[in-house]
Structure formats: C-alpha cells, structure tokens
Amino acid sequence: MQQDSNRTPRRILITGGAGFIGSNFVHHWCNSYPGDRVVVLDALTYAGNKQNLASLASNSDLKFVQGDICDRTLVDNLLESEDINTVAHFAAESHVDRSIIGPGAFVQTNVVGTFTLLEAFRQRWNKREQPQNDRFLHVSTDEVYGSLEADDPAFTETTPYTPNSPYSASKAGSDHLARAYFHTYGMPTIITNCSNNYGPYHFPEKLIPLMCINILLGKPLPVYGDGQNIRDWLYVEDHCRALDVVIHRGKPGETYNVGGNNEVKNIDLVEQLCELMDELAVDLPVSPSKKLITFVKDRAGHDRRYAIDASKIKRELGWTPQETVAGGLRHTVKWYLANRDWWQPLLSDEYKSYYNQVYS
Ligand code: NAD
Ligand code: DAU
C-alpha cells in the first residue's frame, strides 16, 4: 500500500498472531511498517505455531507473548506496558468441524475472549483520554450471514446475521459486542467480515491444506456431501492488505466485507488441487491424484454457499484483491511442497485423534 509520510507509528497488539491469518498479518505489518511496535498475544492452542513467525525472530520491534485473551490481568498489563494504540484481533477458535464436536471452547475464546479484550481496551482508551486515532479491529467472518441459495445476491454489510454453526454463532456474538462498544462508548472499533482464506501457514485441518497434504501422503481426499457447496476464496495476503487499509483509512463503527469474488464449488477446487499437484509434485504415491477423491458423510448443518459483495471496501477505501484463484492456488501448492518440515510435525497425535473423530 502507498506509504503516508505523515503516518503516526502504531503500537499494535495482534491477538492470534501465531495462527494462519494472524501470522501472515504479522509478516505483512513488519515488512510494511518497520519501526512500529508489534506485540503478538497467542495462547498457542493446537492451531497456533511459533514456527509461523520464525523468520522474524531477530526483529527487535516484535515481541511474542504466550497467553490467553481471556486473561484480563495479562491483557491489561500488555496494553499498559506496551502503550498499545491499535488492536488487530484475530485470536479465535476457527474450525467449524471442531465447533460441532465441542462448542464450549468457541464460546469461551470467541465471545468471552473478545469481551475481555474490548473491556481492557476501553479502560486503557479512557485512561489515555480517548485518542481518536486508536483502533480496535475485530477480524470476523462471512459465516455470520448464514447460507445463500444459488440465486441469492452476495452478502453485503446489511445482510441480516443468521449464523448456523456454533463457530459462526460465537463469531456473531463477538461482532455484536464490538459493534456495541462503538455505539455505546464511542470506542473506535471496526469489524471486517471476510470470506475463506488460503495460502501459507494454513493449518492442515482446513480444506485446501488437508487436500494438499493427503495427496502427498496418498490418503483419501474426503469431500463432504455432494461436493457442490460453494466458498468465495481469497488469498491470505489480499486479506492482510485489506485489514491494513481498514486500520489506516476505515471509519470507526463501520463494517467492511472482504472477499475475492471467486466462488468455487468444493469439488471443482479439489480437482484443481489434484491437477496442480500432478503437475508440480514428483513421485506422488497415487497418480493421477483425482483417484483419491472420496465423497464422505456431510458436515452437520453444512452451509451451502457463501459469497461476499466487497463493493463497499473497494468504493470507500480503494481495496481490491490482487491474486487470482489460479495464481494463488499455484503459490499455495508450491508452498506445501516446499515446506514439509512445517506441516509434518502438525500431524500430531492430537490431530490424528481429531481426524479419526471427523472422518472415520
Ligand atoms: P487459526 O485457527 O489458524 O488461528 C487462531 C489463533 O488464535 C491460533 O494461533 C491460536 O493459538 C490463537 N488462539 C486461540 N484461542 C486463543 C486464546 N484464548 N487466546 C489467545 N490466542 C488464542 O485461525 P485463522 O484461520 O487464522 O483465523 C483468524 C481469525 O480470522 C479468526 O477470528 C477467524 O474467525 C477469522 N477468519 C478466518 C477466515 C479463514 O478463512 N480462515 C476467514 C474469515 C475470518
Ligand atoms: O468463510 C470463512 C470461514 O472459512 C472462516 O470463518 C473459518 O474460520 C474457516 O475455517 C473457513 O470455514 P469453512 O468451513 O468454509 O472452511 P473449511 O476449510 O473447513 O471447509 C471449506 C469447505 O470444504 C466447506 O464447504 C466444507 C468442505 N470440506 C472441508 C473439509 C475440511 C470438505 O468437503 N472436506 C473436508 O475435509
């Protein structure tokens, strides 16, 4: 993005900065704004991984703190000791299938954790006499809008909330809290609702990395239901650029939808991944890898279609995605091929036990 020479340096707390999108955002911010203070708060749950930030280990602007966003004392201390003026809140339980198995952790982190951060930030913001340039960015999802039929128009910022899974219901609850803190207290919160991301550091449980890894291991590629569900895919770096623009130029109290305008049926996406792997990988255990595609029992309450209308962020803040699906998937497949050392240790006993529960 274009640099503003009068830009006020930010002292940014990035929650969930060791997860998939959060860590991509930490890289983005450190590369874009050297000299800004960057504090990462992450509990390192199964989805958090310090390796995602390993290449930034020598960056003295960056501090990593392992801890829970529900720990009010810890959050208060960090906001004060680091004199934080910006929060980018990514920390969440993020996987729909896990929310079906165990919703409790989703309510705790996504609702109680967000509430804890909002309250701590409110106290600190008041103490600092309510600077209007401070920002609390709440990173959310298109899943709060529910499921679309084939002919429905894409979700806009005014589409009514209709969350269908414990995950999306807990994110919806946190969105409502973030919105209420603007309307009640004037706190400069902004909400973004984004479509499905993909790219480097994506944990193996999600569709795209799961398929890439299973192709490399010669394991079945489990497609839920009839494979006709549609997601709107966005390369993660495009999401990071959108969040950057929202922090710098977004209006407090507003919501911005972020999406790639890339609606793809799951089965078509899996077939594209198979073709890319067949082209780019050597010595695949099963070739052509499409032979591995297996239709399995559908996800409970599986949303049929998501699609984002991102015209507001384009019109008001000038953001558009730069990556095509074809280009983004190619980068992603190459990344999983080149980074076996990153994903192999993630196939832990915990992961295997989760996998058996969902797929056996
Ligand atoms: P992720 O599961 O990869 O990462 C979540 C991170 O949060 C992990 O590092 C984890 O350790 C950390 N965390 C979990 N509970 C915590 C707690 N109590 N305290 C501190 N840290 C905790 O998730 P992601 O896919 O990177 O998603 C990040 C955010 O973006 C989430 O809020 C999610 O709802 C939202 N989002 C995700 C997508 C997507 O496609 N992945 C799309 C739109 C919005
Ligand atoms: O839309 C944004 C959301 O995208 C985020 O808020 C969530 O955090 C993120 O996990 C993602 O949710 P999805 O449920 O859409 O992503 P997932 O990768 O789990 O699944 C994508 C689609 O693929 C979905 O229709 C379910 C299907 N699927 C998934 C898996 C893991 C399969 O068919 N087989 C699978 O094994």
For ligand 2, pick from 98, 161, 207 the residue to mutate: most ligand atoms within 8 Å of CB.
207
Q: What are the tens digits of pLDDT across the range 94-134?
A: 999 999 999 999 999 999 999 999 999 999 999 999 999 99
**pLDDT value at residue 4:** 65
Q: Does domain 11-202+233-263+302-324 have CATH number 3.40.50.2300?
A: no
Annotated catalytic residue 232: no
For ligand 1, pick from 14, 23, 45 the residue to mutate: most ligand atoms within 8 Å of CB.
45
Annotated catalytic residue 224: no
Q: What distance in Å separates the CA atoms of residue 154 and residue 261, rounded to the nearest whole number?
A: 9
Q: What are the tens digits of pLDDT across the range 232-284?
A: 999 999 999 999 999 999 999 999 999 999 999 999 999 999 999 999 999 99
pTM exceeds 0.95, yes or no: yes
Average pLDDT along the chain:
97
Ligand 2 residue neighbourhood (C-beta within 6 Å): 94-96, 141-143, 195-196, 206-207, 210, 222-224, 229, 231, 266, 299, 306
Cβ atoms 316, 248 nearer than 8 A: no
Q: What distance in Å separates the CA atoms of residue 273 and residue 209, rounded to the nearest whole number?
A: 10
Q: What are the tens digits of pLDDT across the range 164-222?
A: 999 999 999 999 999 999 999 999 999 999 999 999 999 999 999 999 999 999 999 99
Question: Is the pLDDT score of 3 beyond 60?
Answer: no
Map tokens 């979700």 to a residue.
155
Domain ranges of the chain: 11-202+233-263+302-324
Ligand 1: centre distance to CA 356 (Å): 23
3-state secondary structure of 254: coil
**pLDDT value at residue 200:** 98
Annotated catalytic residue 167: yes
